[in-house]
């Protein structure tokens, strides 16, 4: 089969627009078959090897079953860098880039070192992005998942980052001598009641990174605030990605803590998804 014939198969089988089909086809060609997509225009009769043909068809069938392209190619661009991802970590979302941007802009003029911890790090995209964009931020990544921490190590090495990586279970918090000036987190915040409202491809992402315990939609925010009570420095700041559906409940939770300033920010979809807490 030649390169144009295979493109036609993608267009025929994928329930997507022609532009979306072509975009995915080119990604698979480049990332998994090492074929420059420009061959489509330069040499439409370019014959695919049996290996490439098999890879393209297998990939297409996985996509038909809603398997995320990012997992297929083990890559997701986040804040201008390509991060390694696999099924042990959440695929980074664009709204989380806005959380990173908030911290970077708030600390653009600092010339003293600040200690930062990224709780529930997953791929490490948040903390590593902070680290490589501001030399004054000493960043620690933390997660309960050993597989996620392995992905953090891969991204640390691939992106030449200086982050520290630790295993930390927010459900088993104990006192620590370490104080952090900034706590940042995109913790699991989808309730099980929302399971039928999320995309089909999410079924391949780790439940531990997505869902809260049953009937406890704010569970991890409670744990983060508990962690902050013993590990956040004086005048420290917390940046969080939150579930817009539980804003009222989140505000009620905050009344239990001595917070000097609460600043909510809408994401690019105009949903109240980001918050900054100043102590």
Cβ–Cβ under 8 Å, residues 52 and 39: no
- The closest of 44, 170, 181 to 116, measured between CA atoms, is 181
pLDDT score of 277: 97
Determine which helix (DSSP H) or strand (DSSP E) holds 276, and give its type and residue range: strand 272-278
Instruction: State the average pLDDT over residues 59-63.
Output: 97
- pLDDT over 90 at 173, yes or no: no
pLDDT score of 190: 83
Tens-place pLDDT, residues 224-266: 999 999 999 999 999 999 999 999 999 999 999 889 899 999 9
- Please state, in angstroms and rounded to a whole number, the distance separating the CA atoms of residues 11 and 21: 6
- pLDDT over 80 at 272, yes or no: yes
Instruction: State the average pLDDT over residues 114-137.
Output: 97
pLDDT score of 194: 67
pLDDT bracket for residue 202 (50, 70, 90) = confident
Instruction: State the average pLDDT over residues 56-75.
Output: 97
- pLDDT over 90 at 56, yes or no: yes
Cβ–Cβ under 8 Å, residues 136 and 106: no
Tens-place pLDDT, residues 83-125: 999 999 999 999 999 999 999 999 999 989 999 999 999 999 9
- pLDDT over 80 at 193, yes or no: no
Identify the DSSP state of 68: -
Where helices occur in the chain by DSSP H, the ranges are 3-13, 18-33, 39-42, 50-64, 69-73, 94-106, 125-133, 146-158, 207-210, 219-231, 247-254
Tens-place pLDDT, residues 15-53: 999 999 999 999 999 999 999 999 999 999 999 999 999
């Amino acid at each position: 089969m030649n390169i144009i014939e295979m493109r036609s198969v993608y267009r025929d089988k994928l329930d997507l627009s022609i532009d979306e089909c072509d975009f995915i086809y080119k990604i698979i060609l480049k990332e998994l078959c090492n074929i420059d997509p420009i061959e489509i225009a330069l040499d439409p009769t370019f014959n695919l090897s049996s290996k490439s043909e098999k890879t393209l068809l297998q990939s297409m069938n996985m996509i038909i079953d809603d398997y995320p392209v990012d997992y297929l190619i083990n890559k997701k661009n986040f804040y201008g860098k390509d991060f390694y991802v696999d099924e042990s970590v959440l695929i980074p979302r664009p709204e989380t880039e806005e959380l990173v941007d908030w911290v970077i802009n708030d600390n653009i003029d600092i010339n003293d070192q600040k200690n930062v911890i990224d709780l529930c790090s997953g791929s490490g995209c948040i903390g590593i992005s902070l680290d490589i964009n501001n030399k004054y931020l000493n960043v620690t990544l933390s997660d309960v998942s050993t597989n996620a921490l392995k992905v953090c190590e891969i991204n640390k090495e691939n992106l030449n980052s200086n982050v520290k990586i630790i295993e930390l279970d927010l459900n088993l918090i104990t006192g620590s001598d370490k104080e952090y000036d900034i706590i940042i987190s995109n913790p699991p915040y989808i309730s099980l009641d929302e399971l039928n409202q999320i995309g089909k491809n999410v079924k391949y992402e780790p439940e531990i990174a997505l869902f809260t315990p049953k009937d406890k939609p704010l569970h991890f925010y409670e744990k983060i605030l508990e962690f902050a009570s013993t590990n956040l420095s004086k005048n420290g700041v917390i940046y969080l990605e939150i579930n817009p559906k539980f804003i009222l409940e989140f505000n009620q939770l905050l009344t239990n803590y001595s917070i000097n300033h609460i600043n909510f920010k809408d994401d690019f979809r105009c949903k109240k998804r980001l918050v900054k807490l100043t102590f």
